[in-house]
Amino acid sequence: MSTKPDVIRKCLWPACLVGLLITGVLSLDCNLLHFHLRKVTWQNLRLLSSMSNSFPVECLREIKAFELPQEILSHTQPVKRYIVEAFYEMSIQAFNIFSQYTFKSTWENDYLKQIQIGLDQQLQYAERCLEEEEKEEDDSKEMEEDGINHSEATVPQLSNLELRRYFNRIDNFLKEKKYSHCAWEIIRVEIRRCFYYYFQKFAPLLRKK
């Protein structure tokens, strides 16, 4: 009577192992890129923290809860590729946001430049990794030339949508506050929180082989 679930359970483990093996094989080329992605993300975090010493008191009342999405990947052991995609999404969104700013003082603009350089690095590492994995997928299956792939899995789309909604809230906040100084301070803290949270959560998974 209990044989069927047992059989399923027996088949599930090898299937999971095979799945992990496949993902391991797919990410072989990306190992160095994962290393650099983690390294550069951590450096950017520290850079974001190093700008100003303390948060200006007058901006405290303008703080808004942006609701950082805590569960963007549904599996407990997400595939490395989805993690890289999530890092890519948050990096490009952060890059977009910081690129909309210009400051009056030179040292602030220098700092901004450093952030953009750092984020660009993050982006390029993530992009290269995703492109390599895509090339491997291209070899195995045919991709449609035009239009959207409707056969895509819904899981990775969900992660990007949640992140996008979050950054959309940040973007609306900035537009609403007309890119004021307080708005800048608030979202700088917020983006740092976002990177820190996901770095803690997913960077160790990128390290595993």
Partner 1 sequence: NDTWLKLPGCQSVANTTCDFSSLKLNVYDKVKLRIRAEEGNNTSPWHNIDSFTLFEKAQIGPPKVHLEAEDKTIIINISLPGARDSVMWALDSSSFTYSLDIWKNSSSGERRTETVYSRDKIYNLSPETTYCLKVKARLLPRKNGIYSPVYCIKTPVANKLPPPENIRLDSKNNIFVLRWDYPYANVTFQAQWLYAYLKKIPGDSSGKWKQIPGCKNVHTTQCVFLQNTFRKGIYLIRVQASDGNTTSVWSKEEKFDAQLQITLLPPVITMKSTNDVSLRVYISAPEESENKPVNQNFPLIYEIVFWENTSNAERKIREKKTDFTFSKLKPLTEYCVKARALIEDDKWNKSSGFSDTVCEKTKPGNTSRTWLIAGICAAIFSIPVVIYVVKLLLRCISYVFFPSSKPPSTIDEYFSEPPLWNLLLLTSEEQTERCFIIENTNTISAVEETNQTDEDHKKYSSQTSQDSGNYSNEDESGGSKFSEELLQQESE
Q: Name the residue nearer to partner 1 (CB basis): 5 or 204.
A: 204
- What distance in Å separates the CA atoms of residue 188 and residue 26, rounded to the nearest whole number? 35
Report the SS3 class of residue 103: coil
Q: Name the residue nearer to partner 1 (CB basis): 41 or 93.
A: 93
Write each residue from 93 to 122 as x if it is in contact with partner 1 (CB under 8 A), else as -, in one continuous string: x-xx--xx------------x--xxxxxx-
Tokens representing residue 177 in the block: 């506050």
Q: Name the residue nearer to partner 1 (CB basis): 108 or 171.
A: 171
Quick one: which segment of 54-62, 102-110, 123-131, 188-196 binds partner 1 (CB under 8 A)?
123-131
Quick one: which of 71, 139, 142, 145 contacts partner 1 (CB under 8 A)? 145
Q: Is 27 in the site for partner 1 (CB under 8 A)?
A: no
Q: Name the residue nearer to partner 1 (CB basis): 133 or 185.
A: 133
Q: Give the residue from 54, 198, 26, 36 showing the smallest Cα distance to 121.
A: 36
- What distance in Å separates the CA atoms of residue 185 and residue 174, rounded to the nearest whole number? 11
Site for partner 1 in 164-183 (CB under 8 A): 164-165, 167-168, 171
* Cα torsion angle, 43, 48, 51, 57, sign: negative
89 and 126 in contact (C-beta within 8 Å)? no
Q: Is 23 in the site for partner 1 (CB under 8 A)?
A: no
Contacts with partner 1, residue ranges (CB under 8 A)? 29, 31-32, 35-36, 39-40, 43, 85, 88-89, 92-93, 95-96, 99-100, 113, 116-121, 123-124, 127, 130-131, 145-149, 152, 156-157, 160-161, 164-165, 167-168, 171
